[in-house]
Chain A
Amino acid sequence: MGFTMTEKIFKSHSGGKEVKPGDVLFADVDLGMGTDATMPLAIKEFRKIDKNIFDPCKIAVIQDHFVPAKDINSANNSLIMREFAKEMNISNYFELGRGGICHHVVPDEGLCYPGDLIIGADSHTCTYGAFGAFATGVGSTDLAFFMATGKLWFKVPGAIKVVLTGKKKPYVQGKDIILHLVSLLGVDGATYKVLEFTGDGVKGLDMADRITICNMAIEAGAKSGLFEVDDVTVDFYKGIENKREVQHLKIDEDAVYERVINIDISSIEPLVAEPFLPSNVKPVSEIKNVKIHQSFIGSCTNGRIEDMRMAAAILKDKTIHPDVRLIVIPGTQQIYKEMVKEGLMEIFLNSGAIMSPPTCGPCLGGHMGILGEHEVCIATSNRNFVGRMGATTSKVYLANPAIAAASAIKGEICSPEEVR
């Protein structure tokens, strides 16, 4: 009998014995990641265990959620992390200006590889599945436990196989594929399960698409989303400094899946998720007369250079609607630099957008663009829950960067075709 990618990874991280879905076990973890939102609590709990750090090289500490510090509490939280990283000799510490949003920093710094088992005290840690790692979000206490022991308890998840075929239509991106899947599954359709992506359609998806897809696996409740390793993955690692061998992780043909979902990518239109669940999905063409006050392009879902290029292509030589604020946030300092080099900054600034340094910012209603009463925002991020970006009466619509850019020009939610 064959194995899913998930079973293979848990097997290799828990002593080599075969594992099956439902097993609860302790496994060796390759990397634990914490941010200023979750790490201070992890540090507090870690101190209670009264033990040294298991291995400082296996910890990544990233300042991203409330940076540059939005208030005194945030500044103090950042300080706790900064001092802890120094004290424990954690070399993978990313200060603002030298990092960015955690889920872009980890792969770009060569900290996740195919076949790795990774935990992060952030729910979107599942993003690294784009690279063939089994990565999952945990809590602060989990991270504390890992820092002390190098291990963590897991329940081996059952798997859903998602077979992708076909090619993307114009203005369709990873975002639309995952919104489609979340709408098929519902927000809890994959709870306690992993989504494993395979099929002919995968080769037409670049790393940015795969990142967006795995990032939002949790929006269907999934523990993680994983892509099979192919040439696109291998190419990504050619540009990484911190080189390790790339393991060609694949699904065995006779692996057992709880369910198989077939998606023909060529049938997917550009989509929008209406408030207040990421599963409330409609084609953008069916959304009429929704005026927006803010458009937000960025986040761990869509903060990569490919996303910025897509938005800039729409905004080039155009200006945004007078009633709209457009906030553009590159995922990392590196992406920021690349935007300058490619002239994208100029396009955004000339359109009337405001540029923020790399940060989570408005995505979680932290800072840099909170919504007031009854305000409406179109965002490229991953959640549109009640009050997610500010006032409980505000509304968030989720979409890809092309739609967010086009809507900023028109002043209401629209398809990119409408502003060409």
Chain B
Amino acid sequence: MNKQMKGSAIKYGDNINTDVIIPTMFCNTTDIEFLGNHCLYNLDREFINKRKEGDILVVGENFGCGSSRENAPLAIKGAKISCVIAKSFARIFFRNAINIGLPVIESEELVDAIEEGDEIEIDFESSVCRNMTKGTEYSINKYQDIILEVFKEGGLINFAKNRGGVL
């Protein structure tokens, strides 16, 4: 999978739940493009018009709390967001994101150091995140082994396929 990303930051606050990321009324489909077009519908109807391919979502604490709906990270992926940086993630959202190959970074420091519109570059290979607008650089935590492997394979399904389902 792509280990480098580049885009502008779009910033929101704390406790953004899955009903806000993708409301139930859009959830009886798994069509990623449709989900993407309704991403953050209950938070900011303008989001979908202002985001550009590759942009980076920068959010506060407990991002993705609420239901287990995988439609939530899928909607973000469908909206062509390249990475989510949060102060903290709700647990199921975090594992869903890893499992479907949506890069996620947990860092309070980074979130505080990024403002809306900043140009951000992330390099997972060397574990750095650069704020090009401010000229600053931060290191990002490495994932634990199993998570890193799943992430490298681009998600849990590829991981299983490449191992023939044998662990």
Binding site for B on A (CB under 8 A): 24-26, 37-38, 40-41, 44-45, 48-51, 66, 71, 73-74, 77, 120-123, 125, 137-142, 144-145, 148-149, 151, 153, 155, 187-188, 191-192, 221, 223, 277, 364-366, 383, 385-388, 392
Contact = CB atoms under 8 A, between A and B. Distances in A.
B67 A364 contact: yes
Nearest to A75: B28
- A-B CB proximity, top 8 nearest: A139-B96, A188-B62, A141-B99, A123-B68, A139-B70, A73-B28, A51-B165, A137-B68
Contact of B144 (A24, A144, A145, A385): A24
A77 B27 CA distance: 11
A151 B99 contact: no
Nearest to B99: A141
Given A149-B167, A364-B67, A139 B160 contact: no
Contacts of B23: 365, 387
B156 interface: yes
Q: Which among B17, B146, B147, B160 has the highest number of chain A CB atoms within 10 Å?
A: B160
A387 B61 CA distance: 20
B62 A386 contact: no
A141 B156 contact: yes
B25 A145 contact: no
Contacts of B17: 385
Contact of B92 (A123, A188, A365): A123
A149 B70 contact: no
Contacts of B82: none
A145 B160 contact: yes
Contacts of B164: 51
A142 B95 contact: yes
A123 B146 contact: no
Contact of A38 (B29, B68, B166): B68
Contacts of A145: 99, 156-157, 159-160
Q: Which of A44, A121, A140, A144 has the most CB of B within 10 A?
A: A140
Given A141-B70, A221-B62, A221-B90, A385 B157 contact: no
A144 B160 CA distance: 10
Nearest to A123: B68
22 contacts: A24-B146, A26-B146, A38-B68, A51-B160, A122-B68, A139-B69, A139-B70, A139-B99, A140-B70, A142-B95, A148-B160, A188-B65, A191-B90, A221-B90, A223-B91, A277-B15, A365-B24, A366-B24, A383-B66, A385-B19, A385-B66, A386-B42
Contacts of B161: 48-50
B141 interface: no
Given A45-B157, A137-B68, 20 more contacts: A26-B167, A37-B27, A38-B70, A41-B71, A71-B28, A121-B68, A123-B67, A123-B68, A138-B96, A139-B92, A139-B96, A141-B99, A141-B156, A149-B160, A187-B15, A188-B65, A188-B90, A223-B91, A383-B66, A392-B42
B5 interface: no
A145 B159 CA distance: 9
